[in-house]
Amino acid sequence: MCGLVGFLGSGVGESGDEVLTRRMANTLNHRGPDDGGVWCDGEQRIALGHRRLAIVDLSPAGHQPMMSASGRYVIAFNGEIYNHLDLRKELEQIPTNSTLAKGRILYWHGHSDTETLLVGIEAWGLEATLKKSIGMFAIALWDRQTRTLSLARDRIGEKPLYYGWQGSNNERVFLFGSELKALKAHPAFATDIDRDALCLLLRHNYIPAPYSIYQGIAKLGPGCLLSISLAQPEPRIWKYWDAVEVALAGVAQPFAGTADEAVDALEVLAKDAVRQQMMADVPLGAFLSGGIDSSTVVALMQAQSSRPVKTFTIGFNEEGYNEAVHAKTVARHLGTEHTELYVSPQQAMEVIPRLSGLYCEPFADSSQIPTYLVSQLAKQHVTVSLSGDAGDELFCGYSRYLRTLNIWKKVSLAPAPLRALAARGIKSISPSTWDSFAHFIPGTGRLRFVGDKFHKGAGVLASTTVDELYMDMVSHLRNPEEWVIGGQEPPTHLTALRPDLAGLGDVERMMALDTISYLPDDILVKVDRAAMGVSLEGRVPFLDRRVVEFSWSLPLEYKLRDGQTKWPLRQVLYRHVPRELIDRPKMGFGVPLHDWLRGPMREWAEDLLDETRLTREGYFHPAPIRQMWAEHLSGQRNWMARLWCVLMFQAWLEMENRK
């Protein structure tokens, strides 16, 4: 795993450009502590920088930036190509009289996947090589012949890549890199906070691609290629692989076998994906929560390993937040070399000051804390760790899918005008007033925060379609523009940029939207930054292209079967682990922040949410935030999710202002 950075345009070729490139690359040392390199061409006005975490081919033959054998291409590559040895065999078999013979290899300098990529690009071209590749990556490729820069990102978006023009007139420069901190190290970087993106943060707890927290800086989308040159400065972007097209194709041509045959096929694919992702020249292990997804990955690893697999989990003593006991049981059954660490509230809270630096831009999924802690634990023993992420999106694991569908089936029975009238009536009464009436409303006497639940229900009633209802269900704040001064929420995949999903059923549309939004912009960001923050490579076997494409070919009734979610994945796991060790209610991967904010974190939060400070900084209207904070402190409400989003922005802003 590595980090890359570079710039095209003004400044390259002047004195100090190599020093500047190295300085930018060194901001990514955590992503690549083992080696670093720069390559600059003043005449062509291009600079590439790289930091390397050596995983495959630890020798100098894996040094980057790397030039192709012909000298035409120079690459800075972050990631892993798991099938690169298969690609080498294919390249070696190209006949000498073929038109592709220019890419034929008589000998290899090393055994890195970076070299394989370069040879493939010379033989087949960049896009064709990416289509053949199975892996996770962000790539910057300079073509010295056409003087064209190409940027590419893996299919689902495991590896990050930011880009954008900075400077003005003759001083304009195109910056690109793995993290914003690398771009900010360039003297031309001088951009303002994007208040529209801040609205998105409040709605989702993350900022979805293509947006970033800065105006003029974008994220390259998953499965995308970008081409740019000084002669053609407007980036041209297109998809070489489209998750929506894969979903539509899979549903249109479903798997024709029986449910049991589907389980057999899934086990073969998943097992091979795990086998390929166990490729490493350094110690390797896996995160293990004891849930279905991580347990399946570990079971398939252990089934193909001659020695105990190293597994890692963290535990909390707080009731409702501890999966360590379940992980330990699964580890004992599989015979792994298991390491667990019980974390105190103090240890967990010590992570919080590091979060702003880890994530570069505001990010507010609170499970970022335990994710960092388990990465930190794993790094003490291994350099690569596999995880079970993406099982929920691919195999229908989130309870909100069925919950949304069941709610819609009930509320849609009433006419839309009547529902809208009822919603307005509910919202006309404050949550605190509803709370005071709770004892007089049948079925609500023992519930907490009745008013909040009624107001949320009003949003449900106001929905006109199941898709609108789902948007409401996944929104942390429904009216972010009322909180952000001068902000206007821009379009996303969930709104005006929504793809055409007409060929999918209701639940399948929710899964597809999560696959192109929540998965890459929340889950994978969380894992990448947390793991790379301690120089640990995280790998996600379920995101193997073959597994993703196969999952979409499975009929929904195979994923939701006999009242169980993720049915085929469960059946694969039951072949390795007794079901009684697995079948239990799903537990989130989080920490009790709602209580900590009222207790040991109160002073820290109060400082960030101070009304005078909010007014001076000028990003938020203070009134709704202060009211929410007071209600949370009093115990009237649990506003942890919304407050955490504001706190993460405030902590990030504080870090920015110190620089």
User: What are the tens digits of pLDDT across the range 92-130?
Assistant: 888 766 665 555 555 788 889 999 999 999 999 999 999
pLDDT digits (tens, 9 = 90+) for 358-381: 999 999 999 999 999 999 999 999
Q: How confident is the model at residue 16 (pLDDT cuts 50, 70, 90)?
A: low
What is the Cα–Cα distance from 118 to 102, expressed in whole angstroms? 12
How far is 128 from 418, CA to CA, in rounded Å? 55
* Of 369, 362, 359, 367, residue with least CA distance to 199: 362
- Residue 450 pLDDT > 90: no
**Paired sense of beta strands 35-41 and 284-287, if any:** unpaired
pLDDT score at 20: 94
- Alpha helix (H) residue ranges in 93-146: 113-124, 126-132
SS3 26: helix
Instruction: With beta carbons less than 8 A apart as the criterion, state whether 175 and 13 touch.
Output: no
Task: Quote the CA–CA distance of 367 and 417 in Å, as a whole number.
Answer: 39
Instruction: State how far the Cα of 225 lies from the Cα of 141, in Å rounded to an integer.
Output: 11
- Please give the average per-residue pLDDT across 536-542, as a whole number: 98
Residue 166 clears pLDDT 90, i.e. is over it:
yes
- Measured distance CA(458)–CA(452) in Å, rounded: 10
Residues 481, 487 contacting (CB under 8 angstroms)? yes
> What was the pLDDT predicted at 628?
94
d(CA 350, CA 604) in angstroms, rounded, equals 12
Compute the distance between CA of residue 457 and CA of residue 138 in angstroms, rounded to an integer: 42
CB 402 within 8 A of CB 559: no
Using a 10 angstrom Cβ sphere, with 0-12 exposed, 13-18 middle and 19 or more buried, the burial of residue 132 is: middle
Which pLDDT value is given to residue 434?
Answer: 63
Q: Which of 2, 40, 360, 645 is catalytic?
A: 2
First to last CA, the chain: 28
CA dist 459 and 476 (Å) reads 12
Between 450 and 34, residue with greater pLDDT: 34
Identify the CA nearest to 544 among candidates 324, 274, 339, 282.
274
What are the structure tokens assigned to 131, written together? 């289509």
Rounded-to-integer distance, Cα 576 and Cα 433, Å: 53
pLDDT for position 539? 98
Residue 453 pLDDT grade (very low, low, confident, very high; cuts 50, 70, 90)? low
pLDDT tens track for 216-256? 999 999 999 999 999 999 999 999 999 999 999 999 999 99
Amino acid at position 106, single letter? L
b (16+ CB within 10 A) / e for 32-56: bebbbbbbbbeebbbbbbbbbbbbb
- Give yes or no for residue 441 having a pLDDT over 60: no
Strand boundaries in 104-168, DSSP class E: 135-143, 148-153, 162-166
Residues at the annotated binding site?
113, 314, 387-388
Confidence of residue 504 (pLDDT cuts 50, 70, 90): very high
Give the CA distances from residue 282 to residues 1, 88, 383, 578, in Å, rounded to whole numbers and listed in that order. Answer: 12, 21, 6, 31
Please determine, for residue 534, whether its predicted confidence score (pLDDT) is greater than 90: yes
Report the chain's C-alpha Rg in angstroms: 25
For residue 495, the tally of other CB atoms under 10 A from its CB is 11
pLDDT tens profile 53-62: 988 877 888 8
CA distance 508 to 236: 31
- Exposed/middle/buried for residue 566 (C-beta within 10 Å: 0-12, 13-18, 19+): buried
- For tokens 């087949």, the residue is 124
Q: Which residues does the annotation place in the binding site for L-glutamine?
A: 113
How far is it, in rounded angstroms, from Cα 385 to Cα 285? 5
Structurally, at CATH architecture level, domain 255-390+519-581 sits in 3-Layer(aba) Sandwich (3.40)
Torsion angle, alpha carbons of 519, 523, 529, 533, to 10: -150
Tokens of 36: 């670093």
Separation CA 486–CA 620 (nearest Å): 9
pLDDT confidence tier of residue 482, bands split at 50, 70 and 90:
very high
**Is the pLDDT confidence value at 135 over 70?**
yes
CA 51 – CA 388 distance, rounded (Å)? 27
Copy the structure tokens of residue 411. 């509320």
Digit-coded pLDDT (tens) for 603-625: 999 999 999 999 999 999 999 99
Least confident window among 10-14, 186-190, 437-441, 612-616: 437-441
Query: pLDDT band at residue 140, thresholds of 50, 70 and 90?
Result: very high
Q: Give all strands of the β-sheet with 73-81 in edge-to-edge order.
A: 66-67, 73-81, 135-143, 148-153, 224-228, 236-239
Pick the CATH number of 2-191+217-241 from 3.90.1150.10, 3.30.530.20, 3.60.20.10, 3.30.70.100: 3.60.20.10
Name the E strands within 335-424: 337-343, 384-386
- Is 2 a residue of the active site? yes
Report which of residues 456 and 195 the model is more confident about. Answer: 195
Collect contacts of 633-641 with beta carbons under 8 A, ≥24 apart.
633/597, 633/598, 633/602, 635/598, 636/432, 636/435, 636/449, 637/431, 637/449, 637/452, 638/449, 638/594, 640/366, 640/593, 640/594, 640/597, 641/205, 641/364, 641/366, 641/476
In degrees, rounded to 5, the angle at the alpha carbon of residue 126 between the alpha carbons of residues 123 and 128 is 75
Averaged pLDDT, 522-551: 97
- Torsion angles phi and psi, residue 306, rounded to 5: -85, -5
List the domain boundaries for the chain.
Answer: 2-191+217-241, 255-390+519-581, 399-489, 593-658
Q: Phi and psi for 294 in degrees, rounded to 5?
A: -65, -35
Render pLDDT for 375-432 as a digit per residue (tens, 0 to 9): 999 999 999 999 999 999 999 999 999 989 988 898 888 888 888 787 787 777 776 6
Q: Give residue 110's pLDDT.
A: 87
Question: What is the b/e burial string over 338-349, where b = at least 16 CB atoms within 10 angstroms of the residue's CB?
Answer: bbbeebebeebb
38-52 pLDDT, tens digit each:
999 989 999 999 999
Burial level of 270, CB count in 10 A (0-12/13-18/19+)? Answer: buried
Strand partners, 339: 312
The DSSP secondary structure of 361-377, one letter per residue, reads S----TTHHHHHHHHHH
Q: Check residues 100 and 643 and name the one with the higher pLDDT.
A: 643
Asked if the bond preceding 442 is cis, omega within 30° of 0, the reply is no
Give the position of tokens 């083992």.
34
pLDDT (tens digit per residue) in 296-306: 999 999 999 99
User: What does the mean pLDDT of the chain come to?
Assistant: 91
Average pLDDT of the residues in 633-653: 94
The whole-angstrom separation of Cα 54 and Cα 70 is 25
Residue positions forming the annotated binding site for ATP: 314, 387-388
* Least confident span in 2-6, 108-112, 557-561: 108-112
DSSP label at residue 308: P
